[in-house]
Amino acid sequence: MITKQVRKIVSIDEEKCDGCGLCVPSCHEGAIQIIGGKARLVADKLCDGIGDCLGECPRGAITIEEREADDYDEQAVAEHLGQQQAVPAASPCSGGGCPSAAAMKLGAPAAAPAASVRQRSELQNWPVQLTLVPPHAPWLNGADLLISADCVPYALGSFHSDLLAGKQVITACPKLDDVGPYLDKLTQIFRERDIQRITVARMEVPCCSGLVALVKQALAESGRRIPFEERVIHIGG
């Protein structure tokens, strides 16, 4: 028999949620899944109401509320997690896991022509990883700035010619990196350096949209209005 009581439980604002998926791995009970492009609480009985997922949402879409809900059920959590682990990893959306972690084999690329010319590098700055980039690096001043998710250059064969040419680049991962220091550093860069234009290149997986949210928040906190463009790259390039 399922009993209900008034208790603390997660609440997700679907209007604010952009489906980035950062909250999914932080929910140790597997109570949150990405369904229809939005984070959703799949069952009240799976949520303990502690709120480990709160700090992972860059949009502030997750809060804790008090309402009548099914009792938290540890046995149901164990069964639910067991079912998730039994799902084959090759299915990118099964079990509500983040598609960025789904194992898949991509088709072999077409053979290059025998007389193909080696493409030159368009890299104009160093370092490129956001953790290592000094906020006052001289190459940032007046930059046409490309902020790229770490995986983009691997997926897009024409990365140098199509995205990097004529730009300075910063790379980051919104899923694996600590985005708190990233927000502070980008805000400082946008506020203090004369950035002319920003292009954000991200992968199609939901969690990668967190990079776009991070840049937009840094722009808002910097008080600057800089032309902004988002480019979404398919896993297959």
Predicted confidence (pLDDT) per residue in 97-119, tens digit? 555 555 555 666 666 666 566 77
* Contact status, residue 234 vs residue 202, Cβ threshold 8 Å: no
Q: Which domains does the chain have, with CATH numbers?
A: 4-90 (3.30.70.20), 138-233 (3.40.50)
At 114 the pLDDT is 61
Over the stretch 138-158, which tens digit does the pLDDT of each residue have?
999 999 999 999 999 999 999
**Angle 55-59-64 from CA coordinates, rounded to 5°:** 50
- Look at residue 61 and tell me whether its pLDDT is greater than 80: yes
pLDDT at 38: 86
Residue 203 reports pLDDT greater than 50 = yes
Asked if residue 30 has pLDDT above 80, the reply is yes
Rounded to a whole number, what is the distance in angstroms from the first to the last CA of the chain? 51
* In the predicted structure, residue 87 carries a pLDDT above the cut 80: no
Weakest-pLDDT range from 27-36, 155-164, 184-193:
27-36
In this structure, what token pair is assigned to residue 166? 């004529």
pLDDT class of 88 with cuts at 50, 70, 90: very low
Q: How confident is the model at residue 184 (pLDDT cuts 50, 70, 90)?
A: very high
Cα–Cα distances (Å) from 136 to 123, 169, 200, 211, in that order, read 19, 14, 20, 21
pLDDT value for 96: 46
Cβ of 54: how many Cβ atoms within 10 Å?
Answer: 15
Tell whether the model's pLDDT for residue 208 goes beyond 90. Answer: no
Give the DSSP per-residue string, 98-162.
Answer: -GGG----PPPPPPPPTTPPPPPP----S--BTTT--TT-GGGTT-EEEEEETTHHHH-TTHIII
Q: Judge contact between 35 and 221, C-beta under 8 A.
A: no
The model carries a pTM of: 0.61
